[in-house]
Chains A and B, each alone.
Chain A
Amino acid sequence: MARSPRAEFDAELTGLQNEVLVLGSMVEKAIAKSIEALRTRNLDDSREVVAEDDLIDDKRHEIEDKCIALIARQQPMATDLRQIVAFLHIAVDLERMGDYAEGIGKIGLLMGEQPPLKPLIDIPRMCEMANDMLRRSLDGLVKRDVVIANQVLKDDDEVDALYDQVYRELVLLMVQDPKTIERATFLLWAAHDLERVADRAENIAEQVIYLVSGREPR
């Protein structure tokens, strides 16, 4: 039996959200893989992360096209409208997070065969925290849960604090031994990319709050 137009629309909205979650999971994997490749000096994996960013870009555009088509055909109102607006924003944020993963992949390639500056500990921790914020922001989306989203907003401070720590440590290394400057700068970029990933996770959490409450936080 054919579904009613409203049931059809609901199915399309659910499908759209699933696409957003797929994109989220692609991005999360790319970020984790980029940092792990940097930590273990796995140039093949770094190269893969860089190459796979195209898939993430394609997915973002696929989601955008579907959102625009739904707006044109359904002229959505209220929660329907807010969902589609939120999906559009979230897709853009995720795609940008993918770019940060690509950037870290390129840093891995730039480091190349140079000896490691130091064992990476805080940067992988930052990565874990940022990815955790990403996962929970999308969990908040699925559950339409403002409490989860607000927690993500709070957690950004921890990532910022860790970034400051990494920054000071790397600057100290550079001051002590100018031979480390190039490698330390690369690591600083990677840490900065992760700090930006966490900021984007924060944006997603804000979209969840908008979707649920109709208001932008703050």
Chain B
Amino acid sequence: MTDNDAVLSVRDLSVYYGEFRAIKNISLSFQANRVTALIGPSGCGKSTLLRCLNRMNDLVPQARVEGEVVYSQQDIYDPQIDPAQVRLHIGMVFQKPNPFPKSIFDNVAFGLKINGLTNNIDEAVEKSLRSAALWDEVKDRLNENAMTLSGGQQQRLCIARTLAVEPEIILMDEPASALDPIGTLAIESLMRDLTEKYTIVVVTHNMQQAARVSDETAFLMMDEDRAGYLVESGKTDNIFQNPKDERTEAYITGRFG
């Protein structure tokens, strides 16, 4: 991965929770309009790394970040940067669908309203729901409570909610792990479609999912001091067919982890 096409770059990143170092010295670039999968055994720091990419770790008490996360030529950890602004550009979708107990419409409109983007709100909601491949299923029931949707629909609603504020990058933390195979397929096809306009970084435990949806893959592991580090990254085809590092090979073939 060259830094040239990178829309987001992590440079020598370490994250501490109090005394404990959760990840250490990770440098990695994310290319525009690509899906990058972060894989690795539990506890290797994938989700920590993902949450650093839009300052979600700010919400964790005692979390401390060293190194840089560069977006638009700026370190997002620069003290002058407003984390809320960062999250407008770099959105996140979580493992469990977490719609608000509000109407379908209000869920999607939420980000727009709190950011004062209330022009053409109907249009923006429809566009987001279409982009999230949910519009046809919900267009006649926009005022129903979002909790009436199936798990897969709820997750696509959360994606629509993220898309509504038109971010450039979408972070996804195990977005399909709580879904059945049909819901999973819908999310995976959606991820492929979204790369036309967005850059996606996805954490997944599902090796086949990483192989199916991503263009680039980064493999992380936990060191003896329990800090996560980057073992290898590169094109997904290379990582899954012919990894360079024995540790990657052992992990993806199920010999450990």
Contacts and interface: CB of A to CB of B under 8 A. Distances in A.
Interface string A80-97: 111000000000000000
Contacts of B135: none
A78 B208 contact: no
Contacts of B255: 6
B249 A78 contact: yes
A77 interface: yes
Contact of B253 (A76, A213, A214, A215): A76
B254 A78 contact: no
Interface in B208-257: 208, 211, 238, 240-243, 248-249, 252-255
B207 A77 contact: yes
A151 to B, nearest CB: 23
Interface in B90-118: none
A77 B253 contact: yes
Contacts of A6: 254-255
A75 interface: yes
B208 A79 contact: no
B135 to A, nearest CB: 33
A134 to B, nearest CB: 26
Contacts of A79: 249, 253
B253 A80 contact: yes
A9 B255 CA distance: 11
Interface in A32-87: 75-82
B21 to A, nearest CB: 30
A213 B241 CA distance: 10
Contacts of A75: 207-208
Contacts of A9: 254
A77 B211 CA distance: 9
Interface in A191-217: 213-215
Nearest to A213: B242
A81 B241 contact: yes
A125 B257 CA distance: 53
Contacts of A213: 242
A150 B240 CA distance: 25
A80 B249 CA distance: 9
A12 to B, nearest CB: 13
B205 to A, nearest CB: 14
Contacts of B243: 78
A75 B253 CA distance: 9
B93 to A, nearest CB: 25
A82 B241 contact: yes
Contacts of B252: 77-78
Interface centre among A5, A79, A213 (most CB of B within 10 A): A79
A124 to B, nearest CB: 41
B242 A78 contact: yes
Nearest to A76: B253
A82 B242 contact: yes
A215 B242 CA distance: 9
A75 B241 CA distance: 12
Given A76-B253, A79-B253, A214 B208 contact: no
B62 to A, nearest CB: 38
7 contacts: A6-B254, A77-B207, A77-B211, A78-B249, A79-B253, A214-B238, A214-B241
Interface of B: 207-208, 211, 238, 240-243, 248-249, 252-255
Given A6-B254, A78-B241, A214-B241, 19 more contacts: A6-B255, A9-B254, A75-B208, A77-B207, A77-B240, A77-B241, A77-B252, A77-B253, A78-B240, A78-B243, A78-B248, A79-B249, A79-B253, A81-B240, A81-B241, A213-B242, A214-B238, A214-B242, A215-B242
